Structure 1
Amino acid sequence: MIDNQKQLSIKLPMWDELPSFDLHLDQLLDLTNQYLSPIIGSKITKTMMHNYFKADIIVPPTRKKILADATGWRDCVGLLKNIFTLAEIQAGLKALLKDSSPKTGYNNFVLMFNEQAAQSGTVPAALNSLDLKSANKPTIMQYDAVQSILFWLAAKKRLEEASKE
């Protein structure tokens, strides 16, 4: 879906690649924007992050530090917020976490996103990482969300190209 030059920068970290220590908000924003800015073309701000905390989508800081377990979800939320409301994201995360651990849910999303983002074209490609025929509803929901994000990115790129003509 994305051209070959951008493919190199479109990759989210797996759970075990995330920091295993608590972060301050500025550190969290730097890390988030390191991954998301090349993908979405904009930065996540302190105000946005505070909105994620208030919406109970990301665990708020304790003693001014964000728990290490919360650092991965900020990438997912940063992508999803472009096509879903915070209430929809919260409902999706609740459904997902009802049947799986945060680590498993996060890794499934990242596997699907990284695999699909690395492929070219506008038609969703077959997944190598998961069997959707035997997947549970939350996993299928994640797949649909990943496809929505990638189509949004492709449409955004086409719009930018069309405006330059």
Structure 2
Amino acid sequence: MNLEKYEAWRKRLASSQLRRWEELPELNLYIDQLIAVINDRCASLGVSPITKSMINNYVKKGVIMAPVKKKYSRYQVAAVMVIALLKNIYPLTAIKEALDQLTINDYPQATYNRFVEHFNALLLGETAPQGHVNPGNDELLRLAAQTAYQRMLATKLLEEMKRQQQPVEVKKV
């Protein structure tokens, strides 16, 4: 099998870094703006888009806080970005439990930035720099980032394999 297109995609992927907390929009966003910000980054990562109904579901289930006057804060942008990367791997209840657990003793900003450091390091084929969060939290963040990254790679590789050669249907004898 020829992996040239897959390897070229992986090289392009390295330039698709997640934004740190400080780089997320400062102004509160309406739902359409939130979706545009998240989906812009997700598209470059090959992650399926977020929809308005998904956001409403996350609010209804308490995974993210409800908007204030129909506007979403930086905290909610960060949470939805993480959810977008993990939603096809973990059940929403598990993501909510992890977010709640990770932010007990660490600020959401530090937790999100640490996830971003782990994820971006994977995109670049590097090791994340030393972190400043609880060691248990750091390991969970590292594993979640690694799982999301590995899923992206596996999904893209399977797409490329299917593009090059469709599986043959096995017939019963």
Query: What is aligned with 1:130?
Result: 130
Secondary structure at 1:3 match in 2: helix
Alignment of 1:36-47 (within 5 A): 36-47=42-53
Give the root-mean-square deviation of aligned CA atoms.
Answer: 2.0
The structure with higher relative contact order (CA 8 Å, sep 6+) is: 1
Between stretches 57-66 and 21-30, larger displacement belongs to: 57-66
Counterpart of 1:150 in structure 2 is: 149
Deviations 1:74-110 (A, max 9, x none): 1111001110010000010111001200100000000
* Runs of 4+ displaced beyond 6 Å: none
Alpha-carbon deviation of 1:41? 4.1
User: Closer, same or farther in 2 for the Cα pair 1:93/1:160, shift >3 Å?
Assistant: same
Deviation at 1:6, TM superposition (A): 2.6
Separation in 1, partners of 2:38, 2:131:
29
| 1:15-65 per-position Cα deviation (integer Å, ceiling 9, x unaligned) | 011111111000100111111121134311111111211222221112111
TM-superposed CA distance for 1:68, in Å, is 3.0
What is the TM-score when the length of structure 2 is the normalising length? 0.83
- If the length of structure 1 is used for normalisation, what is the TM-score? 0.87
Deviations 1:105-149 (A, max 9, x none): 000000110111111xxxxx6x241269x9521210111111111
Equivalent residues of 1:59, 1:67 under 8 A apart: no
**Bigger mean CA offset, 62-71 vs 82-91:** 62-71
For the residue of structure 1 that corresponds to 2:58, the secondary structure is helix
Residue equivalent to 2:11 = 4
Asked if structure 2 preserves the Cα contact closer than 8 Å seen for 1:96 and 1:138, the reply is yes
Identity of aligned residues (%): 29
What runs of 5+ residues in structure 1 fail to find an aligned partner? 120-124
Match of 1:24 among 22, 30, 45: 30
Which structure's CA Rg is the greater one? Answer: 2
The residue that corresponds to 2:59 in the other structure is: 53
In the alignment, residue 100 of structure 2 is paired with which amino acid?
K
Contact 1:83 1:149 in 2 (8 A): yes
